[in-house]
Structure 1
Amino acid sequence: MTVHDVARKLPEIAVLREHCRALAMLEAALSPEWGDRYHSFDAHWSEGEALTSMRNGSGDEYSVVFSAAGVFVRGFDHESPMSPYAEDGPWPGVLDEVPEVFKACVEEPAFCDDGMPRVTACIWREVGDDGWRTGAIDFPDGQTDDPDGADYLFQLLVDRSPEAFQEWAEDYYEVPVDLDAVRHVMSLRPLTEDVVRALNPDIGLADLADDIAQSGYPMR
């Protein structure tokens, strides 16, 4: 699956935003240490913008910027044959058609290395669009079924089921993960002491106060 396939499977902007918020809150409960988490959501990243991000600690990452203009999605797979480090710049087509309204995201220092965008996959959607967009890309032949890393990077954005998150989290954290609690959070229902402790018996609701405030997770 490439970025083209992911673009066809992503939901509406509002649905994606709330799903990303839920992923971040689930991980906040499972992992009190921020540095050990994959997913985060900052509802106050900059004026008028929210940012959700994934980092796996091995160099793979994505960023999703939500703004009044729409959504900009950047993914980077450090082992991809399309890595800008291998090509001395982004792979042809990945960023060439990004609309001007998202150019600041392309050039965002947090997403670049000495001015070079760290990107192997890019998707965007302006508010008035009827679907997600990508560039016209000639992918490298015969090297991998996931040439740009999109299949791996965006797996939990494509499969947004509670079961998919449970399976992923149990594999990563190596602990049982309560499916009913996952469903509760993914439905964006207000957190309760019982739900938090079902996810992590070592913390309580009060321990998540900062994460709730940062992510804007609804509590009413």
Structure 2
Amino acid sequence: MTAHDIARLLPAVPDLRDRLRAMAMLEAILSPERADRYHSYDRAWSPGVEVATMSTGSGDEFSVVFEDGTAYIRGFAHESPMSPYAADGPWPGVLDKVPEPLRRWVSEPAFTDEDGIPVVTACLWRGPSDDGWRTGDIDYPDGPDPDGANHLFRLLATPGPAAPDAFREFAEDHYGEPLDPAAVRHVYALRPLTGAVVAALNGDVTLADLAEDAEAVGYPQVG
């Protein structure tokens, strides 16, 4: 699976934004230690710009930028043969067709290395008038996941009804604890947090503990 395949599976921009906010809130509940979280969300990343991020802590990461109804997705799989460090720069086609309104994200310092090289193996975008997600014209190398898109974006591309359970399976594996399916679905639906829901996911965390994270995510905190 490549970015082209993921593009056919991703939800619309508002739905993707909601999914990423829910994932970030769930991780805030599950992990008071920010360094242990895969997913984060900052609705005030810069004026008018919201950014969701994922980092495995071992070199794989993505960023999703939301601005004025547009979305720009940059993913990096460090073992991909399409790594800019293996290919002497971004793989041909990955970034070439990013439209002008979104081009500034290609060279954004947060998404490039110290030499200004875009840290990217997979890129997707969608503008307000697009009827689907876009990618570049790419001649992929052989392999089942050449750009790392399946590894990076699987949870984003999981069909809606199955998405909460897909996240629950990921989180149970990552954190090593079983999770209440109903509580996960509650957060995935962006229903206001309650003490009971939080306790079902992590008995060591309270609503008050989550106030700062809920504000950053833009999540309805109290129900």
Say whether the 8 Å CA contact 1:69–1:101 is kept in structure 2: no
Residue in 1 that maps onto 2:191: 189
Match of 1:153 in 2: 152
Match of 2:102 in 1: 102
For structure 1, the residue ranges without an aligned partner over 5 or more in a row are none
Corresponding residue of 1:200: 202
Q: State the alpha-carbon separation in 1 of the partners of residues 202 and 209 from structure 2.
A: 11
- Once the two structures are superposed, residues 121-176 of structure 1 have per-residue CA deviations (whole angstroms, 9 ceiling, x without a partner) of 000001111110000000012xx200000000001101151110111101110011
Listed as ranges, the matches of 1:121-200 within 5 Å are 121-141=122-142, 144-159=143-158, 160=160, 161-200=163-202
Cα deviation code 1:14-67 (max 9, x no counterpart): 000000000000000000011110000000001100000000000000000000
* Residue type of the alignment partner of 1:202: D
Shift in Å at residue 103 of structure 1? 1.1
Give the root-mean-square deviation of aligned CA atoms.
Answer: 0.9
What amino acid sits opposite 2:177 in the alignment? V
- The Cα shift of 1:218 comes to 2.2
Any idea what SS the aligned residue of 1:208 has? helix
**Aligned-partner Cα distance in 2 for 1:115–1:99:** 19
The aligned counterpart of 1:67 is 67
8 Å Cα contact 2:43/2:216 also seen in 1? yes
Q: Deviations over 1:162-197 (max 9, x none)?
A: 110111101110011111100000010000001011
Give the aligned residue type for 2:6.
V
Kept in 1, the 8 Å contact 2:155–2:167? The answer is yes
Superposed structure 1 runs of 4+ greater than 2 Å apart: none
2:38 corresponds to which residue?
Answer: 38
Paired residues, what number? 218
Where 1:52 maps in the other structure, the secondary structure is strand
The two structures have a TM-score, normalised by structure 1, of 0.97
- 1:84-95 pair list within 5 angstroms: 84-95=84-95
Gaps of 5+ in 2: none
Question: 1: distance between equivalents of 2:88 and 2:218?
Answer: 38
Aligned match of 2:27: 27
Counterpart of 1:213 in structure 2 is: 215
| 8 Å contact kept, 2:13–2:69 | no
| Amino acid of the structure 2 residue aligned with 1:49 | V
Amino acid aligned to 1:183: R
Amino acid at match of 2:179: V
Give 1:172's aligned amino acid.
H
CA contact (8 A) 1:69 1:127 kept: yes
